[in-house]
A and B are shown apart, each in its own frame.
Chain A
Amino acid sequence: KAGVTQTPRYLIKTRGQQVTLSCSPISGHRSVSWYQQTPGQGLQFLFEYFSETQRNKGNFPGRFSGRQFSNSRSEMNVSTLELGDSALYLCASRNSGANVLTFGAGSRLTVL
């Protein structure tokens, strides 16, 4: 079984730009969660999608948004990038009824 795939792995943007990150979950997993990881802050929960619906949302500004497609693939978008958005963005998928998150390798975003 293929794991969770995140693209791109690395990207560099400048302030004010926007970025879209993609996550393909494990086949059959309908829940996809996104986390922001920064040094000293650990993992901060962004949002969770299940069957194309946002089921939970963390405490992030509206510049952070996401969506999920019918094949369970998910994207997250950050608009009007700020320097503080530089982070590793992790996606995790979960099978219904299984309380285990399986993570992708992450997308490392650098904002200059």
Chain B
Amino acid sequence: AQSVTQLGSHVSVSEGALVLLRCNYSSSVPPYLFWYVQYPNQGLQLLLKYTTGATLVKGINGFEAEFKKSETSFHLTKPSAHMSDAAEYFCAVSDRTGNQFYFGTGTSLTVIP
């Protein structure tokens, strides 16, 4: 069975500060890992994904995440927060068939001017 835990349902950062959103997963097999972002009244948009290869993955809007197998983590970071980054962020895991995805409960990011 697979599951995802996102630590911190709400995170606030100042504009220009580092963004760190935490995600830990549980999986009996090497998983595929994803971060999605959701803006108000919209669906989820893919930020980045890890499948195989390089463990540091770069995504859109300056975000990146690092797959750490030993820590079963896939934390999302951005060096400098922008007001437009305020949104809900979801971490997700799937097995290699991709037939089912498991999502975390989300982290709401607030950016303080």
- Asked whether A99 lies within 8 Å of B98 as measured between CB atoms, the reply is yes
Instruction: Select which of A42, A102, A105 is within 8 A of B103 by beta carbon.
Output: A42
Closest to A91 in B: B43
Interface size class, chain B: 20 to 34
Q: How many residues from A make CB contacts under 8 Å with B?
A: 26
- Which B residues are closer than 8 A to A by beta carbons? 9, 32, 34, 36, 41-46, 49, 51, 90, 94, 96, 98-106
| A residues whose Cβ falls under 8 Å from a Cβ of B | 4, 6, 31, 33, 35, 40-43, 45, 48, 55-56, 90, 92, 94, 98-106, 108
**Shortest distance from the beta carbon of B4 to any chain A beta carbon, whole Å:** 9
B43→A106 contact, CB < 8 A? yes
CB atoms of A100 and B49 under 8 A apart: yes
Instruction: Chain B residues near A35: list those with CB within 8 A.
Output: 103
Q: A90-B44, A100-B49 are in contact. Are A42 and B90 (CB under 8 A)?
A: yes
CB-defined contacts of B90 to chain A, threshold 8 Å: 42-43
Minimal beta-carbon separation of A52 from chain B (angstroms): 16
